[in-house]
Amino acid sequence: MIRTQTNVLLSGGLLAASQAMAGDLLLWQTNSLSYLYGKNFAINPSIQQTVTFEHADKWKYGDNFLFVDKIFYNGKEDRNKGPHTYYGEFTPRFSFGKIFDQKIEFGPIKDVLLAMTYEYGEGESEAYLIGPGFDLKVPGFNYVTLNIFRRQTEGPRPGDGVWQITPGWSYSFALGNSDVLIDGYLDWVVDNDENSRGTYHANLHINPQIKYDLGKALGWRQKQLYVGTEYSYWKNKYGVESSHNLDTNQNTASLLVKVHF
C-alpha cells in the first residue's frame, strides 16, 4: 500500500513538474556532467570511474533534483553487475508555503515541503522514499535542506519501514581570484530492518564535494567549470554490516571535473 501511494505521488510529481515547464513556471535550472576517478571502494571493485549527469531546478511550487551515474569498474568486473553499472535518484519536493501562498517560517525553518525520492539501478536496487522536507536558514550557507524519509524497497532486498535522515548543503568562499564551493549530502538510515528477506543494517553515507571554480580563475564564465575532489564515507555500505570476512565501511576520495551547462 505504501509503495502504491508513493508511486502515485511520484507520478504526480513528474506530471506537475512537466506542466510547470509547459506553463513557464520554471524559476531556474542547472545541468552538469561530472567525471570522477577513485580507488578503495568497498564491496564493488576497488577502482572506479564514474560519469554523472545532474539536473536541479526550482519552480513555482517546489524543486527537483535528479542524478544518474554510469560507473565503470577498472581492471576487475563486479560479480553481479559485470564491467559497469548505473545508478540514479530523482527527488521532487513540493512546498506547502508556495502551494498555499503562505509564509511557513519558524525558528531556523523557512519552508516546509513534501519530499520524495525514487532510487533506481541495475538489478534489485529500487527504493521509494517519502516524508517531510525543510528548507533551513543557516548563516553563511548558500542553502541547507533537511529531508526525513520513510524507506520502502522493491524486490527481494530488505529495507522496508526504516527511517532515513538526509541533510544537504552548499557553502562557498573566495580563494584568490576565484571561489571554492563545498556542497553535498548525508544519508543516515537510523535503524535496522529484519524480515524474511534478511537484515538491512543502519548505515551512514557522507558524500561532499570540494570544488575550485577553475573557469572563473581562467577568466571564463564563473560557476561553469570546476575541479576538485569528492569524498565518500559509507558505514555499512548498502545496509550490509561490516565484518572480518567483508569490510563494508567505505572511506575514499575521487578526483573530480565538473562542467555546468
Query: Which residues of the chain fall short of a pLDDT of 50?
Result: 1-9, 20, 22
Quote the CA–CA distance of 55 and 187 in Å, as a whole number: 19
**CB 256, CB 226: distance < 8 Å:** yes
Write the burial class of residue 232 (CB in 10 Å: 0-12 exposed, 13-18 middle, 19+ buried).
buried
Quote the CA–CA distance of 39 and 48 in Å, as a whole number: 6
Q: Is 68 helix (H, G, I), strand (E, B) or coil?
A: strand
Q: What is the largest CA-CA distance in the chain?
A: 59
Q: How far apart are the first and last CA of the chain?
A: 40
pTM: 0.87
Query: What pLDDT, on the 0 to 100 scale, is given for residue 199?
Result: 86
**CB 92, CB 17: distance < 8 Å:** yes
What would the grid cell of residue 118 be?
525514487
**CB 143, CB 170: distance < 8 Å:** yes
Query: What pLDDT, on the 0 to 100 scale, is given for residue 17?
Result: 52
Report the candidate in 135, 217, 204, 213 with the shortest Cα–Cα distance to residue 181.
213
Distances in Å between the Cα of 138 and the Cα atoms of 80, 104, 107, 145, 168 are 43, 16, 11, 10, 12
Spell out the domain ranges in the chain: 2-256
CATH top class, domain 2-256: mainly beta
Residues present in the chain in total: 261
Cβ partners under 8 Å of residue 150, min gap 6: 2, 129, 130, 131, 161, 162, 163, 164
What would the grid cell of residue 231 be?
569524498
Where helices occur in 109-245 by DSSP H, the ranges are 214-217
Q: What is the dihedral of CA 101, 66, 191, 47, to 10 degrees?
A: -160
Quote the CA–CA distance of 115 and 164 in Å, as a whole number: 12
Q: Which residue has the cell 565484518?
A: 243
Query: What pLDDT, on the 0 to 100 scale, is given for residue 45?
Result: 94
